[in-house]
Amino acid sequence: MKVLLVEDHDELREATLAVLHAHGFSAVGVASAEEMDDLLQHSRPRLYVVDLNLPGEDGLSLTRRIRAAQPAAGIVMTTARTQVSDRVQGYESGADIYLPKPVDPAELIAALKSLAARIQPWDVRGPGVAATLETDARLLRGSQGAVRLSESEMRLLSALVIAKDNMLERWQVAVHLGSAEADISKDSLQNRISQLRKKMIQSLGEGEHIRSVRKEGYKLCVNLQLR
């Protein structure tokens, strides 16, 4: 089972990855939330190990985003903070298990095996989920049926699902659609977004699914779950 480790301490990250690999997990490590977002465009793990103290976006915020995008994922939070209030914050953010540092490797492996044995199947939709995005098959499944997406449309929707506040700047949208900001016009970008909106209407029904935010970018306005 795939594990994504988010840990900014280089030596600790590499040592933890070695332990995970030795116990049969397919594990990848990143140093920040930004690196995680880049990785999730291409790979969708079922288990996460998230350090609380990260550069930029902290582990609490990151865990909330993971939980919102992937309700069935298993999340272990690790931190040097050991106060009860800190643990409560960790659980409230969506963590399944909160482990104080230094984490005993045997306990981490036991925690991950426990989560792997009981996390829900990916095809179970949570309450209020409007649709699922099947990244491998590039299918958007909603109340009106399934619609096949292009590779770039799938990348963009996946990025919007995991983005903070479900919003990307214009240049980020252009990159996910396969163009550098310098070589895509405003009209061309709007046309690409319009095509994606039409597909979303086919799958989800009428509504404002992607909103243009003046001088900022685009915001996803529907609850999607990644599979």
Q: With 80 as the cut, is the pLDDT of residue 17 above it? A: yes
Q: With 50 as the cut, is the pLDDT of residue 68 above it? A: yes
Please give the pLDDT value at position 97.
94
pLDDT range class, residue 16, cuts 50, 70, 90: very high
Overall pTM > 0.75: no
SS (H, E, C) 136-202: CCCEEEECCEEEECCHHHHHHHHHHHHCHHHEEEHHHHHHHCCCCHHHCCHHHHHHHHHHHHHHHHH
How confident is the model over 179-219, as pLDDT tens digits?
554 456 777 888 889 999 999 999 988 888 898 888 788 99
CA distance 178 to 190: 14
Q: With 90 as the cut, is the pLDDT of residue 154 above it? A: no
Q: With 80 as the cut, is the pLDDT of residue 177 above it? A: no
Whether the Cβ atoms of residue 78 and residue 103 lie closer than 8 Å to each other? yes
Kindly give, in sequence order, each residue whose CB lies less than 8 Å from that of residue 175, ignoring residues fewer than 6 positions away. Answer: 181
How confident is the model over 69-94, as pLDDT tens digits?
788 789 999 988 878 888 888 888 99
Beta bridge partners of 100: 79
pLDDT range class, residue 41, cuts 50, 70, 90: low
How confident is the model over 45-60, as pLDDT tens digits?
889 999 999 999 999 9
Which has the minimum average pLDDT: 96-100, 105-109, 160-164? 160-164
Domains of the chain as residue ranges with CATH? 2-118 (3.40.50.2300), 131-226 (1.10.10.10)
How confident is the model over 129-153, as pLDDT tens digits?
468 888 878 899 888 889 999 988 8
Please give the pLDDT value at position 130.
64
The tokens 């990848």 sit on which residue?
A: 28
Q: With 80 as the cut, is the pLDDT of residue 102 above it? A: yes
pLDDT (mean) for 25-34:
93
